Structure 1
């Protein structure tokens, strides 16, 4: 009986697709070139996966929603290039000078090969001390201790370690497509909304919707009548870099060294970011962003006041690359001057086999 219902449902979907010119993703692995995907509430149950897991691109998939960056979508995104201006989004490697969450300070040495003739660089760094992509090895679904697509800690370290969810898979695929900036900090200044990016402040879906409206953008997915297309890359400016620049070196270090990670029940590290509310989860999922990123150390409001983190959904359950501490100051200025909030964006993650994460090495092109 269940098979009959399933077959009938698929047949109905095929008829609807024929009438609407859609191509609905139904059978796992999903076709990345589909034009219609299930909402968060419509996700299929996957045997052996945690609830709400979208491990839908194949058993050996380690790029997640980067699958949505198909040649067709990348070519379409290239039409956003009109004036040719380039806006990099990378902080200097030594910014912040004192990283948050107890991460190591960046160290740079010059190695002399031949005096006055040839030199090398030597870097000592934590890839997540500055502008970063959180890779799929970075944060697990906590209740099950499972990383994206069934990867476990034993796949990352130990005698059975392998390259599941390694960052090099992203590098081999490449990251390029259409980006959209929501300048929430600029909107907040305009509306007289005062908050400290170095303190807990959850940005709600309604606030982001109003921010988008102020920019002339409907942030709902196209399937709901909005302007967000499948495979778009989301950038949210919360004002962390603006505030960092206004602080003295001593105050920057003091804020970065506040005790408690937020993962251990202590909340010394506190930052503005996206709310963990259900409407945010629905929006992030149903928009089918290829990637999401912000200018703050945690992207989501930190520490979470729920019994889950956005990191768990974004990275472990949905396989969506998550960027943090991008320098969005010049990007916001350029977007506002041009009154253009969409642009072409490209990023080159490190091709590091077995790597956890990477600097973004990204730029917007107008």
Structure 2
């Protein structure tokens, strides 16, 4: 009976697709060129995977939502290039001077090959000490200890280590497509909403929706009548870089070295970011963003006040690259001046076999 219902449902989808000229993803592995994908509530349960896992691109897939950056979508996104103006989104490698979460300080040394003739660079760094992509090896689904597509800690380190979910897979595929900026900081200042980007402040879905509306954008997915297309890359400005620039070196270091949970009045790392509410999860999933990114060290409001993190869903369950500490100041200024919130975006992750994460090396192009 269940098989009959499934067959009938699939047949109904085929008829709808024929009438609407759509192509719906129904069979795993999904075809990235499909024009309609299941919502979060419609995700199929995958045998051996945690609930809500969207491990749908194939057994040996390690690029997740980057599959959506198909040649057709990249070519369409290139039409956002009109003036050719380039806006980089990368902080200097030594910014912040003191990284948070106990990460190592960036060190740079000049190596003399031949005095006055030739020189080399020597870097000592943590790829997540500044503008970064969180790779799929970075954060697991905590209850099951599963990284994206069933990768485990033993795949990352130890005698059985391999290249599952290695960052080099992203580098080999490439990242380019249409970006969209939600300048929440600019919207909040306009509306008289006061908050400290260096303190816990959850930005709700409703606030992001109103921010988009103020910019002239409907942030709902196109399937629901909005302006977000499958494969778009999301950027959210919370104002972290703006606040960082206004702090003294001593205040910056003190903020980065805070200890404790950050909850219930206890000191600890605290940052503004997206809320962990269910509407936010639905939106992030159902828009089928290829990537998401922000300007703070956490992207999501930190610390989470739920029993889960957005990181678990974005990275481990959905396979969506997550960017943090991007410099969105000039990008926001450019978007506002041009009254254009969509742009072409490129990123070149490090081609490091076995790597966990990477600097973004990103440019927005107008």
Interval of TM-score (by shorter of Structure 1 and Structure 2): over 0.9
| Partner Cα separation in structure 2 for residue 307 and residue 22 of structure 1 | 38
Structure 2 counterpart SS, 1:99: coil
> For the structure 1 residues 173 and 118, does the alpha-carbon distance in structure 2 shift closer, same or farther, using more than 3 Å as the test?
same
1:136-175 C-alpha deviation (Å, 9 max, x unpaired): 0000000000000000000000000000000000000000
Aligned to 1:316: 316
| Partner Cα separation in structure 1 for residue 267 and residue 107 of structure 2 | 28
- Map residues 317-356 of structure 1 onto 2, 5 A cutoff: 317-356=317-356
- Map residues 189-208 of structure 1 onto 2, 5 A cutoff: 189-208=189-208
- Map residues 11-90 of structure 1 onto 2, 5 A cutoff: 11-90=11-90
| Partner Cα separation in structure 1 for residue 78 and residue 50 of structure 2 | 37
- Map residues 117-266 of structure 1 onto 2, 5 A cutoff: 117-260=117-260
Structure 1 counterpart SS, 2:87: strand
Structure 1 counterpart SS, 2:268: coil
Structure 2 counterpart SS, 1:121: strand
> For the structure 1 residues 36 and 262, does the alpha-carbon distance in structure 2 shift closer, same or farther, using more than 3 Å as the test?
farther
| Partner Cα separation in structure 1 for residue 240 and residue 137 of structure 2 | 25
| Partner Cα separation in structure 2 for residue 21 and residue 128 of structure 1 | 43
| Partner Cα separation in structure 2 for residue 62 and residue 289 of structure 1 | 16
1:49-73 C-alpha deviation (Å, 9 max, x unpaired): 0000000000000000000000000
| Partner Cα separation in structure 2 for residue 136 and residue 266 of structure 1 | 31
When the two structures are aligned, how many residues end up with a matched partner? Answer: 365
| Partner Cα separation in structure 2 for residue 267 and residue 213 of structure 1 | 36
> For the structure 1 residues 261 and 169, does the alpha-carbon distance in structure 2 shift closer, same or farther, using more than 3 Å as the test?
farther
Shift, 1:195, TM fit: 0.1
Runs (4 or more) in structure 1 with deviation over 2 Å come to 260-263
Structure 2 counterpart SS, 1:155: helix
1:181-239 C-alpha deviation (Å, 9 max, x unpaired): 00000000000000000000000000000000000000000000000000000000000
| Partner Cα separation in structure 2 for residue 213 and residue 168 of structure 1 | 37
Aligned to 2:285: 285
1:241-262 C-alpha deviation (Å, 9 max, x unpaired): 0000000000000000001366
In structure 2, stretches of 5+ residues that fail to align are none
1:361 aligns with 2:361: yes
| Partner Cα separation in structure 2 for residue 336 and residue 260 of structure 1 | 38
Shift, 1:348, TM fit: 0.1
| Partner Cα separation in structure 2 for residue 29 and residue 269 of structure 1 | 40
Shift, 1:22, TM fit: 0.4
1:94-140 C-alpha deviation (Å, 9 max, x unpaired): 00000011100000000000000000000000000000000000000
In structure 1, stretches of 5+ residues that fail to align are none
Structure 1 counterpart SS, 2:363: strand
Q: TM-score normalized by structure 1?
A: 0.99
| Partner Cα separation in structure 2 for residue 108 and residue 218 of structure 1 | 44
Structure 2 counterpart SS, 1:57: coil
Q: TM-score normalized by structure 2?
A: 0.99
| Partner Cα separation in structure 2 for residue 56 and residue 120 of structure 1 | 44
CA contact (8 A) 1:101 1:261 kept: no
| Partner Cα separation in structure 1 for residue 60 and residue 262 of structure 2 | 32
CA contact (8 A) 1:185 1:238 kept: yes
Shift, 1:287, TM fit: 0.2
